[in-house]
Structure 1
Amino acid sequence: MLKTLFTWWNGATPGIRFTIARRGVFVGQDDYGNRYYEAKDASDSYDGRKRRWVIYDGYAEASKVPPDWHGWLHHTFVEPPTTEPLPRRRWEKEHRPNLSGTIYAYRPKGSLARGGERQRATGDYEAWTPE
């Protein structure tokens, strides 16, 4: 409870929850647990477009928003993905948030996080030396 009172990066603060309950309408939820809202009327709008919000499930990280919801939040799509989902092509990969700084981050061979050992250079490598 104290986290939600004093930190905005661990989910919505009570003030934001109150504002959204008063002015917003729940539109949908994505696979990561993020919840999306839109303003009830045009009084909370800009450029004639209703305001849209995302309340992150857990730590506030923008890369946790999938592309279809990102497009809806930025008014690229009129309809939310709950009513009109983006068509998926077979070559598209599933959305993954930025994993840097986590235990799931990519660590190539030779990385210090993997022990710093790398393969020896092959015979086609020639070290640069100043003349």
Structure 2
Amino acid sequence: MGLFGKFFSPSWWNGATFGTALFSNRHGREVGRDDAGNVYLQHKDDARRRWVIYDGANDGSRVPPGWQAWLKGTIDELPEKDLPPRRPFEQPPLANQTGTFAAYKPGGSLGGQGVRPAATGDYQAWKPE
């Protein structure tokens, strides 16, 4: 979205607004970027103030776990320096899939495949006395 779009569209859900970008350029310094293109900043005067400018939709689940730890102050160094390297069995993080076609749908649900398994008969309904 260009500069014109920042002024005349409600872009708060799709990237930084003009005010956020202005504040970030004035008071923050870029400390890193992740694979998704998100930019991580830290306040020039107060190192405890940290924030992210998303590349696309503003969704906290799009922040990888290492950067999430840095944003919350759990680790002080950047994730590349403070955390161990990713192990071969670890999968890359995914954004929240709820509401998309990639969301989990168990067997027998309205959007899922298959048939719901039959009740086993080991359930007894509670009856008040």
The verdict on a shared fold, with TM-score over 0.5 as the criterion, is: yes
Q: 1:22 to 1:120 in 2, by over 3 A?
A: closer
Matches within 5 A, 1:1-131: 1=1, 4-5=6-7, 6-41=10-45, 45=46, 49-82=47-80, 84=81, 86-87=83-84, 88-114=86-112, 117-118=114-115, 121=118, 125-126=120-121
Moved over 2 A (4+): 1-7, 88-94, 124-131
Aligned to 1:92, what secondary structure does the other structure show? coil
Cα distance in 2 for partners of 1:62, 1:105 equals 17
Matched position secondary structure for 2:12: coil
TM-score by length of 2: 0.77
Gaps of 5+ in 1: none
Per the normalisation by structure 1, the TM-score is 0.76
Q: Sequence identity of aligned pairs in percent? A: 43
Question: CA 1:58–1:126 in 2, change beyond 3 Å: closer, same or farther?
Answer: same
> Is the 8 Å Cα contact of residues 40 and 52 (structure 2) preserved in structure 1?
yes
What count of residue pairs does the alignment treat as equivalent? 121
**Over aligned residues, Cα RMSD in angstroms?**
2.6
Assess, with a 3 A threshold, how the Cα gap between structure 1 residues 126 and 3 changes in structure 2: closer, same or farther. farther
